Amino acid sequence: MKKLLALLLLVPSLVCAAPLLNNVSAIGAGQPVGYSGGRTWFQAALVGTNSPAAVLTVEGSDDLIHWSTITTIIMPVSIMRSVAYGHPTTAWIRGNLISVSGAGTTVTLTVGE
């Protein structure tokens, strides 16, 4: 608990956060999350060995059928990357893992205020 609290204090954008992808390794879209329009940060973390890399997108939809790309995150190594974004005008958002490489590579994508 102490480590988690320290992380939240160091990264205030994660205090109000929702996961879009959680330790996934399979290519494809995650579950849609209702979007209020107030969240402005997307943060991705990549963990793996043997040259891990991933490409993922954040997508938005108003009808849960037609999805458009809000932003693309390219991760060439095991890192954590944050992308600032304004206020997408969409009712729903989701993460979509487009490609992944490296042994045991997993990706986590979070949206936060």
* pLDDT tens digits along 6-62: 333 334 334 578 899 999 999 999 999 988 766 568 889 988 888 899 999 999 999
**Calpha distance 11→110 (Å, rounded):** 12
Q: Is the pLDDT of residue 2 over 60?
A: no
Average pLDDT of span 92-97: 95
Confidence of residue 84 (pLDDT cuts 50, 70, 90): low
List, in order of start, the domains of the chain with CATH numbers.
2-112 (2.60.120.380)
Residue with tokens 């989701």: 94
pLDDT of residue 18: 86
pLDDT of residue 38: 66
